[in-house]
Structure 1
Amino acid sequence: MAVYTEVTDEELGAFIDRYDIGGLLSFKGIAEGVENSNFLVHTEGGFNILTLYEKRVDPADLPFFLKLKEHLAAKGLSCPKPVPAKDGNLLGTLAGRPAAIITFLDGMWIKRPQAPHCNMLGQAMAKMHLAAADFDMSRKNALDVSGWRPLFNLSADRADTVCPGLEKLIRDDLDILETNWPKDLPRGVIHADLFPDNVFFLQDELSGLIDFYFACTDTLAYDLAICLNAWCFENDLSFNVTKAQALLNGYTEVRPLSEAEFSALPLLARGAALRFLLTRLYDWLNVPEGALVIPKDPIEYVKKLRFHQTAASPEAYGISL
């Protein structure tokens, strides 16, 4: 979440009038995240989230995102869902951007997750994968392995200004991952961005998953690989095998991994590290002027990538078949 586009009181009041949620009382920008402009909106009917979809989001993808959240919520998964306007539409326009009102989800994200949090995340992710199995829409992952080199090309000439030798490190890893990326693993809808700030807890119980704007159709185990990177490294970037074991055990309690999925974990985790290194590198080098957002350090994912390069087998992540 972030704020790139400012909205006036008058603009927002007129937009809110299209919904049956009461009059506008107050709103404030939410400055976390990197993708869209988000505001906490307080109306006479309570609290909701207003999201303005910025230029990096393809408007053609928005029906997928919004309908997916409706589908998952109807299946019992705890997640925010879009609020329809009085005319039934889930999507409108505000300040020149596509915009939607999303229900507010109680909870807070955990800044220093422990193994029990990782276990609950694994269970929730597996439940999400199963709940989306009969979702009748699909969306290509624009940041799958085929999209990494084009993204890298936008930053390659400045990569070494961030870290000496980074251009070669990335280029060499792209060669390996493009050649060896698994193609026949189970697929379905994945979240693709389940970082700690997208998972809410209340009193140490998982209360819901948020921010589905990278959701897509891809390899299910790749979602796990993303979370191994996002949840299982300590502040000093040492890998916590106990957290990884808790995450994977939680997932497999709900949806067991096939032998092929299990064997692919080191490569998937390596690819996930590279994918987030590339987006962080691009954002680090291309912060929009005046944006109320702090870009995330790409060097964190350089170190994570190097760890996965040394993982000799799936047992490096704490479990075995």
Structure 2
Amino acid sequence: MAVFTPIKLEDIAQWIDQDFNIGQASEIRGIHGGIENSNFFLDTTKDGKKQEYVLTIFERLTAQQLPFYLELMRHLANKGVPVPKPIENKQGDILFTLKGKPAAIVTKLPGLSRLQPESNHCALVGEMLAKMHLAGKDFSKYQENLRSLDWWQKTIPSVLPHLNTSQKELITHELKTQEEFFSSGTYDVLPQGASHCDLFRDNVLFDPKGSDVSQDQLGGFFDFYFAGTDKWLFDIAVTANDWCLADNKQDLEPARLDAFMKAYQSVRPLTKEEQASWPLMLRAAALRFWVSRLWDFYLPRDAQMLTPHDPTHFERILLSRRSL
């Protein structure tokens, strides 16, 4: 999350009051972090009570692409998966235009992030990720993961001039390996469906039950704006590469990974093809985020409150996964 398009309360107060049934806008605050969209906490007052929402202005996604994400969130919320639910205006629309750009308002989930997760947090995430995958099986819309192989092939040439010799060799060799994997018969039969594709620690909230973090309950998943129709195993690998990191920030920590995978498979066991593809998919997930962080770091856009992520983090993770 970041702020590329600044918004003040006076810019939206009349719009909120006239077009929605969520009360009067009382405060709007830019959200720090992330790199894709302009995000704000939006507070309203209705019948004397404060209500909290998240307003997003989309900087790269088009009005043609956005219905997939918003309708997926609504579909999952209606299935009981704890995700932000898009807010309709008085005409029943969930996609709007603000400052000439697509925009949406969604409910704000309760809870807080656990950026240093324990095994119990990994288990809660794994279980709900599997439930989310199954809940999305009957979601009718299709949209490919826009940050998958085609995007890597287009983006890597633009970042190569910024890399040293060993980095160039690593990224080009891994891309070739993934091209072969993606064209294989094994990859073709992997189960797929609506996937989050970006379920990092800062995209999950937990509801604390006192000071003992082992009693935390899952609050919900958010930030679905990298979602797509993809192999579920890719979604699992993206999540594991972040949630199950060892203290050295590159290897997988066995206890966290075991808790995560057992919880996922208690809901949806992996197929034999998924089990065989796990090492390569972990590498695919690492490559995806190394490429995107290189792109954001070396080819940045202007934004308020924008802090690019360190691309070498996923370079180290990719090297670790290649050693499995």
Identify the TM-score tier after normalising by the shorter chain.
over 0.9
Indicate how the Cα distance of structure 1 residues 290 and 258 shifts in structure 2: closer, same or farther if over 3 A, else same.
Answer: closer
Is the contact between residue 198 and residue 227 of structure 2 (CA under 8 Å) also seen in structure 1? yes
Instruction: Map 1:61-80 onto structure 2 (within 5 A).
Output: 61-80=65-84
After the TM superposition, list the runs of 4 or more consecutive aligned residues in structure 1 that deviate by more than 3 angstroms.
Answer: none
Match of 1:317 in 2: none
Match of 2:271 in 1: 258
Post-superposition shift, 1:14? 2.6
Match of 2:12 in 1: 12
Post-superposition shift, 1:63? 0.8
Is the contact between residue 122 and residue 259 of structure 2 (CA under 8 Å) also seen in structure 1? yes
Post-superposition shift, 1:295? 0.5
Secondary structure of 2:75's partner? helix
Question: What are the ranges of 5 or more consecutive residues in structure 1 without an aligned counterpart?
Answer: 312-321
Is the contact between residue 289 and residue 314 of structure 2 (CA under 8 Å) also seen in structure 1? yes
Distance 1:185 1:26 in 2: 46
Match of 2:108 in 1: 104
Match of 1:216 in 2: 228
- Alpha-carbon RMSD across the aligned residues, in angstroms, is 1.2
Distance 1:265 1:306 in 2: 15
Q: Does 1:51 align with 2:64?
A: no
Is the contact between residue 159 and residue 281 of structure 1 (CA under 8 Å) also seen in structure 2? no
Task: Report which stretch shifted further, 13-22 or 62-71.
Answer: 13-22
Question: What are the ranges of 5 or more consecutive residues in structure 2 without an aligned counterpart?
Answer: 209-215
Instruction: In structure 2, give the amino acid aligned to 1:173.
Output: E
Instruction: In structure 2, give the amino acid aligned to 1:168.
Output: E
TM-score by length of 1: 0.93
Post-superposition shift, 1:266? 0.4
- Identity of aligned pairs, percent? 37
Instruction: Map 1:186-197 onto structure 2 (within 5 A).
Output: 186-197=191-202
Q: Does 1:233 align with 2:245?
A: yes
Distance 1:147 1:183 in 2: 19
Aligned residues: 307
Instruction: Map 1:109-258 onto structure 2 (within 5 A).
Output: 109-160=113-164, 165-181=166-182, 182-203=187-208, 204-237=216-249, 238-258=251-271
Distance 2:159 2:178 in 1: 19
Task: Report which stretch shifted further, 297-306 or 226-235.
Answer: 226-235
Secondary structure of 2:275's partner? helix
Distance 2:271 2:92 in 1: 42
Post-superposition shift, 1:94? 1.1
Q: In the TM superposition, what whole-angstrom CA distance separates every residue of 1:102-122 from its partner, at most 9, and x where no partner exists?
A: 111101111101111011100
Is the contact between residue 8 and residue 28 of structure 2 (CA under 8 Å) also seen in structure 1? no
Match of 1:41 in 2: 42
Instruction: Map 1:260-275 onto structure 2 (within 5 A).
Output: 260-275=273-288
Instruction: In structure 2, give the amino acid aligned to 1:293.
Output: L
Post-superposition shift, 1:290? 4.0
Instruction: In structure 2, give the amino acid aligned to 1:142.
Output: L
Distance 1:291 1:166 in 2: 30
Distance 1:62 1:225 in 2: 24
Q: In the TM superposition, what whole-angstrom CA distance separates every residue of 1:184-218 from its partner, at most 9, and x where no partner exists?
A: 21111111000011111011111111111111111
Secondary structure of 1:101's partner? strand
Task: Report which stretch shifted further, 199-208 or 3-12.
Answer: 3-12
Instruction: In structure 1, give the amino acid aligned to 2:177.
Output: I
Instruction: In structure 1, give the amino acid aligned to 2:127.
Output: Q
Secondary structure of 1:31's partner? coil
Distance 2:14 2:227 in 1: 30
Instruction: In structure 2, give the amino acid aligned to 1:99.
Output: A
Post-superposition shift, 1:44? 0.6
